[in-house]
Structure 1
Amino acid sequence: MSLVPPGLQWVRAYRRAWLPRDIGAGVVLTTLLVPQGMAYAELAGLPPITGLYTSIMCLLGYALFGPSRILVLGPDSALGPMIAATTLPLLVADGDPERAVALASVLALMVGAIMVVAGLGKLGFIADLLSQPTMTGYMNGLAVTILVGQLPKLLGFSVDADGLVGEVVGVVEGVADGAVVPAAAAVGVGGIVLVLALQRWTPKLPAVLVMVVLAIVASSALDLAEHGVSLVGVLPQGFPPLTVPTVGWSDLAPLAAGAAAIALVSLADTISTASSFAQRSGQDVHGSQEMVGIGAANLAAGFFQGFPVSTSASRTAVAERAGSRTQLTGVVGALLIVAMIVLVPGLFRDLPQAALAAVVITAAVSLADVPATARLWRQRRVDFGLSIAAFAGVALLGVLPGIGIAVGLSVLDVFRRTWWPYQTSLGRVDGLAGYHDLRSYPGASRLPGLVLYRFDAPLIFANAKTFRDEVIRLARSDPPPEWIVVAAEPITDVDTTAADVLHALDHLLDERGQSLVFAELKDPVRAKLERYGLTDAISADHFFPTVGTAVEAFRARTDARWVVPDPTGALPPPHDPGTPPVPRLSPEDRTAAGPDTVAPPGTREDGS
């Protein structure tokens, strides 16, 4: 990782021809940053102005330390509920706005510190803790949670309830009791319809800005405040000074837990978005540097009354379509927001709160991915189940427990695949080189007395018993095989627990007059078996470089011939009745057997 911040590298390589595009894109971007910043601040349970403070500082922080040329950071709809879930339980009954801001700012500093430390430690792979199915389910659950949570504001009333079920009940009761403010509902619902329609039919128009401007015009012309519609009001003038937020010691533990969850979601979202836009522009994604860039953006926001931020795919897309070439676009946007809150803080005083709710709800709709969930149902039911479980975790238990469930399900899915890996027996298929899965080719030829067994996973403590049980089952089949050849190419590791199991298994098969044979062991795995002492217990002539050489060695010793099983899958006995099984060879016998017993290293299954 370079010691020179990426932002300074862009400055050195900047071309004058890029300036008009970056400035124009910055102006266009600002039209989206302002309404979304205020809306997502309220989604996080904070005053609208903090969304603007956050937008300014995170844009400047990422412009200096972020590696992407056009990635846009800012307040995010996915993080808003997580911030609220972390800070609201720490507030007193009616909530102190200043304390809420302080808690959110400390949260941003914690997220920033986690990101910077993880980035310097090259821990970008942490984003892989969230698999795509669980991330899809989590986002679907988050979308529903946001939608239900914003409905009261959209309709002009409030609900005092905890959890999705309680909020749904509160909304239904409010509507039934006549708490809906018609004017607010008209603004909110009309705003949603307008934004979605413009995004679909005229995607180049700034749909959110058009809706916000029309809402302000309608509010002012129709005096909606007199009809019970809540307005944003005049924003505080000026920019806050550098502030070190303070909270109680008892607040640090819950804030740290929330910060870890927010950092994980922010990182996963950023890496995904950065990869998508990098592919289109031919750039590379530097995961660790992205973590540092996100961390710097969060630290900058935290010291100026801001809250945690993440990447925004929609805002990045707007900047890209507007011709953005570098992070100067974000700097221009930040400066324009500063000019607005310093010179015209009353610009949004007539903006209805219902319009902000419409902004949040349209963003929540973009979080949900129902087609992806339907595709999981068609393609892989297990992944569909993981997605639904993650969705239920968020919807029923809450946002923070939901991310814990999503991570836990992703990790458990990895263990499940390792614990119960795919395993099968192999046979020879006419016209196809190599040896193939009997489940796919049940009519494949087999050698009497020989079983080719493939285990598709590292052999470790979690699945050693599964491996042992299957080998014993094969050994006890009728007729019993003389050799069980493990096609070990998929086995990428063997730990000490599995080594002990192999040792006991080899001894058990020896007592039965059967042999455990290995083919295609990778060199690092073979080296581990030697360190474990297994190559002393298992004869050297039972290790082969390929499955093909193991098969030929068996045929040379037994004169076995390939046969096609009858429709029941039964094979003839490996020898004529009364013929004893071929004993294992002593070292002297192996020497006498000659070099043809074991093929030279590098030989493939087909003998090439």
Structure 2
Amino acid sequence: MRGTVPVPPGVRTLRGYQRSWLVKDLVAGVVLTTLLVPQGMAYAELAGLPAITGLYTSVMCLLAYAVAGPSRILVLGPDSSLGPMIAATILPLVASGGDSERAVALASVLALMVGAITILAGVARLGFIADLISKPTMIGYMNGLALTILVGQLPKLFGFSVDADGLIGELDALVRKLADGATVPAAVAVGGCCIVLVLLLQRLVPKVPAVLVMVVLAIGATVAFDLGEHGVKLVGRLPKGLPPFTVPDIRWDDLGPLFVGALGIALVSLADTISNASAFANRSGQEVRGNDEMIAIGAANAAAGLFQGFPVSTSGSRTAVAERAGARTQLTGLVGAGLILLMLVLLPGLFRNLPQPALAAVVITASLSLADLSGAGRLWRQRKAEFWLCMAAFLGVALLGVLPGIAVAVGLSILNVFRRAWWPYSTVLGRVAGLEGYHDVRSHPDAQRLPGLVLLRFDAPLFFANAKSFRDEVLRAVRDAAEPRCVVIAAEPVTDVDTTAADVLEELDEVLRGRGVDLVFAELKDPVRRKVERYGLAQAFGPEAFFPTVESAVEAYRARAGVDW
């Protein structure tokens, strides 16, 4: 039987397109374009690339996602969280003279690599990879990223540039330049006013496109006050024409560093995409298909990489703008891409008088939205251990750099999971008057215990890393009990037993038998019970060592020992 060719999500949407959506999609596309252009140029420069590449990237990723994307309203494009990662990957490989053509070629290959990684991950159904970064470490990472972006944009805001690496180096260079009097007063005035204007408009009138208003006023100020003659750097005339199809040419020894950067960028892009897709799908009643999103993100990155673009991700802010403007389908993105193309062909000089400090203001205000100081404060109040994880991720980005920072964030998330399984919570249980079942004696110090019975709960699967911890907890509980005769393990939280843990259990049983203490298990899940039988423990312990419920195990001990509460 021949398989059917899968229909791209964009084609499926087109088949079911309703005429009533058209006006809303067109209006939303126009509104969205006012945000796409200045942000695209600003984030390109954040990545260390010419401003025009941001527009090429915006066009190609919007076109690709409109065809391959499963979400009807997600908006892709250059992203403030990826910009520093792209710069950290490509700038060390660029010649000291700052060869922009080589930088563009490296960024394009980086986008192709990110596209290949995410497509392969989607085909292999590895959508869960996006969960490798926990919320506390992501908060710390984003706070560190926000600080890094802010410090990196301050020189442009003051009207000069610095040549330094890392947060500490950039801060030191910034202070030295300020001390040497390199500040351009007109640039500071323009940049400061732009930041204040955007923040005020976003807070007071969120439905107004704050970035567009700021860009129009900044261009007007340039013309009115001739800011270019006062030392303010301008964007200048953009190259005219459509995004050029280009096969990037780089050296073989560039591939290793680019691949390392691509892995980090792909991980952040996927985590950002899945979280944004989930948030907007919940509001619109759509279903999130993580693996399909990965393939679509890969297609968008590949398209950008073939037309002098750089890696992209979804944007929560741009998607929110499209949603508020009434977007119904990806036609909104197609309209945005079409308008950018018209501008490049017919009006390439439209933004020639846009001040560079205004672009810095766009990036700085975006970096402020990345920071989540209240989230860090909440972690401090709710769980100190996760707050310190957050701070470690923050310091990893701030002190080691963006790419090592993402490695630190992922590593800390994995270690935190391992730590919880390595040293899980365990406790002795007792009977509490007026409550059914058996409860933690730490929470209920007055809980009753049967003489000679140790009822223990261990809240984790048993595996090589915590098997000895489990053994020590059991032996400690036996040592603290008065004349112990039986240990009942309330095993409902034990979701697995590996071979190392099985050997430790067998040794523990022998030790306890030597002390005249029985080891009994209650509420073992069926899959775990089958593993225990496969290891031969059921035969070694005997059928009397396994009970379906804690109550039946306790009652069997009462009958055998002749004791009561």
Q: Fold match, TM over 0.5?
A: yes
2:57 matches 1:54: yes
Deviations 1:556-589 (A, max 9, x none): 0112121xxxxxxxxxxxxxxxxxxxxxxxxxxx
| 3-state SS in 2 of match to 1:173 | helix
2:516 matches 1:513: yes
Partner residue, 2:156: 153
2:354 matches 1:368: no
Unaligned 5+ segments in structure 2 are none
Given that residues 452 and 481 in structure 2 are in contact (C-alpha distance below 8 angstroms), is that contact kept between their aligned partners in structure 1? no
Q: TM-score, structure 2 length as denominator?
A: 0.99
| TM-aligned CA deviation for residue 451 of structure 1 | 0.6
Given that residues 141 and 405 in structure 2 are in contact (C-alpha distance below 8 angstroms), is that contact kept between their aligned partners in structure 1? yes
Deviations 1:171-196 (A, max 9, x none): 12222221110000001011000000
236, 240, 254: which one aligns with 1:251: 254
Q: Which amino acid is the alignment partner of residue 157 of structure 2?
A: L
Unaligned 5+ segments in structure 1 are 563-608
536, 540, 560: which one aligns with 1:537: 540
In structure 1, C-alpha distance between the alignment counterparts of 2:205 and 2:155, rounded to whole Å: 29
In structure 1, C-alpha distance between the alignment counterparts of 2:168 and 2:38, rounded to whole Å: 29
Q: Which amino acid is the alignment partner of residue 234 of structure 1?
A: R
Partner residue, 1:265: 268
Partner residue, 2:77: 74
Given that residues 429 and 457 in structure 2 are in contact (C-alpha distance below 8 angstroms), is that contact kept between their aligned partners in structure 1? yes
Partner residue, 1:97: 100
Partner residue, 2:419: 416
Residue correspondence of structure 1 range 478-517 to structure 2 within 5 A = 478-517=481-520
Deviations 1:269-315 (A, max 9, x none): 01111111111101110000000110010011000000000000000
Partner residue, 1:394: 397
Q: Which amino acid is the alignment partner of residue 526 of structure 1?
A: R
Residue correspondence of structure 1 range 146-545 to structure 2 within 5 A = 146-545=149-548
In structure 1, C-alpha distance between the alignment counterparts of 2:246 and 2:161, rounded to whole Å: 32
| 3-state SS in 2 of match to 1:448 | coil
Q: Which amino acid is the alignment partner of residue 266 of structure 1?
A: S
| 3-state SS in 1 of match to 2:519 | strand
Deviations 1:251-283 (A, max 9, x none): 001100000000000000011111111111011
| TM-aligned CA deviation for residue 2 of structure 1 | 8.2
In structure 1, C-alpha distance between the alignment counterparts of 2:443 and 2:118, rounded to whole Å: 47
Q: Which amino acid is the alignment partner of residue 326 of structure 1?
A: T
In structure 1, C-alpha distance between the alignment counterparts of 2:177 and 2:519, rounded to whole Å: 71
Tell me which structure has the larger Cα radius of gyration. Answer: 1
Q: TM-score, structure 1 length as denominator?
A: 0.92
| 3-state SS in 2 of match to 1:345 | coil
In structure 2, C-alpha distance between the alignment counterparts of 1:175 and 1:453, rounded to whole Å: 65
Deviations 1:398-454 (A, max 9, x none): 000000000000000000000000000000001100000001101001101001000
| TM-aligned CA deviation for residue 476 of structure 1 | 2.2
Given that residues 112 and 302 in structure 2 are in contact (C-alpha distance below 8 angstroms), is that contact kept between their aligned partners in structure 1? yes
In structure 2, C-alpha distance between the alignment counterparts of 1:353 and 1:552, rounded to whole Å: 78
Given that residues 454 and 481 in structure 2 are in contact (C-alpha distance below 8 angstroms), is that contact kept between their aligned partners in structure 1? no
| 3-state SS in 1 of match to 2:480 | coil
68, 84, 87: which one aligns with 2:87: 84
Q: Which amino acid is the alignment partner of residue 253 of structure 1?
A: G
Partner residue, 1:139: 142
In structure 1, C-alpha distance between the alignment counterparts of 2:156 and 2:20, rounded to whole Å: 46
| TM-aligned CA deviation for residue 478 of structure 1 | 4.6
| TM-aligned CA deviation for residue 240 of structure 1 | 3.0
| TM-aligned CA deviation for residue 158 of structure 1 | 1.0
Partner residue, 1:64: 67
| TM-aligned CA deviation for residue 508 of structure 1 | 0.9
Name the % identity. Answer: 72
In structure 2, C-alpha distance between the alignment counterparts of 1:80 and 1:480, rounded to whole Å: 66
Partner residue, 1:560: 563
